[in-house]
Amino acid sequence: MIQRKGITPATFDLFADEAAQPPATEQIGPRSWVLRGFALPLMARLLPALEAVLNQAPFRHMVTPGGYTMSVALTSCGQYGWTTDRSGYKYSPVDPATGQPWPDMPEVFLELARAAAEAAGFHGFEPDACLINRYIPGAKMSLHQDKDERDHGWPVVSVSLGIPAMFLFGGHARSDGTQRVPLFHGDVVVWGGEDRLRYHGVMPIRQAEHPQLGEQRINFTFRKAR
Ligand code: SIN
Ligand code: FE2
């Protein structure tokens, strides 16, 4: 009879506990991290601040240079906002929908972005742009690189709110394989350094309802654009 040393009921219990409570921090690349629940302590301040931003700069569906209307609705806050239209992708200090500057980045957004970058080993991150994406069930984001920023020495800090998403984290070529990373309300992903230009995207969002945000997922990406 084969002795299966070490595989005792106690070992199975240990694995069961680990499965129930995944680690708070997961490394998904040499300089890429998932910080589970990192935004939760700030949530009571984040959601009202988000609402104030949205009152000033509502979500809108933008068109890509190729003429495709994005399924994700977006807006921005901070000194620069990211826009796309038939003429291309760019950062602009002005919201093209209103002709006004983008709403200021709320202090609590800045606190979160700085702290998450620091926790992932990127010191002194001072974002000047926060893109805000809204996904309703069925919305997705195709694989892309974040490369419209001037200095790729700064990381991207991405915050997930609302219903879950399956984030895809790829390599440096579009055709590289992707890791599937489930993201939940309050999770933060940070990627930078040698990982800064890795392809990433979001699979079509599955129908679900979040107690605070309803049938939607909201994502913030903080960048240093200029
Ligand atoms: C993005 O890549 O701009 C958004 C990523 C996400 O929604 O998680
Ligand atoms: Fe992106």
Which phi and psi (to 5°) does residue 57 adopt?
Answer: -140, 85
Eight-class DSSP state of 38: T
Q: Report the separation in Å between the CA atom of 100 and the middle of ligand 1, taken as the mean of its atom positions.
A: 25
Residue nearest to atom 7 of ligand 1 (CA): 219
Closest C-alpha residue for ligand 1 atom 6: 219
Does residue 32 carry a pLDDT above 80? yes
| pLDDT at residue 11, rounded to an integer | 42
Give CA–CA dist 119/113, Å, rounded: 10
- Residue 21 binned pLDDT confidence (cut-offs 50, 70, 90): low
What separation in Å is there between the alpha carbon of 133 and the centre of ligand 2?
Answer: 10
Q: What pLDDT does 103 receive?
A: 98
Cβ(76) – ligand 1 distance below 6 Å: no
Among the listed residues 169, 168, 167, 160, the one whose alpha carbon sits nearest the alpha carbon of residue 216:
160
- Pocket of ligand 1 contains residue 219 by CB under 6 Å: yes
Q: How many whole angstroms from 172 Cα to the centroid of ligand 1?
A: 17
217 CA: nearest ligand 1 atom = 7
Q: Percent of the chain, pLDDT > 70?
A: 90
For a substitution probing ligand 1, which of 202, 203, 213, 220 has the most ligand atoms within 8 Å of its CB? 202
Does residue 82 have its Cβ closer than 6 Å to ligand 1? no
Task: Determine the atom of ligand 1 nearest the C-alpha atom of 201.
Answer: 2
Tell the burial category of 72 from Cβ atoms under 10 Å away from its Cβ (0-12, 13-18, 19+): buried
Which ligand number lies closest to the CA of residue 198?
Answer: 2
- Average pLDDT of every residue of the chain: 92
- For each of the domains in the chain, give its residue range(s) and CATH number, in order of start: 29-223 (2.60.120.590)
Question: CA 167, CA 180: separation in Å to the nearest integer?
Answer: 6
What letter does residue 118 receive in the DSSP assignment?
Answer: H
- Chain segment 78-123, per-residue pLDDT in tens: 999 999 999 999 999 999 999 999 999 999 999 999 999 999 999 9
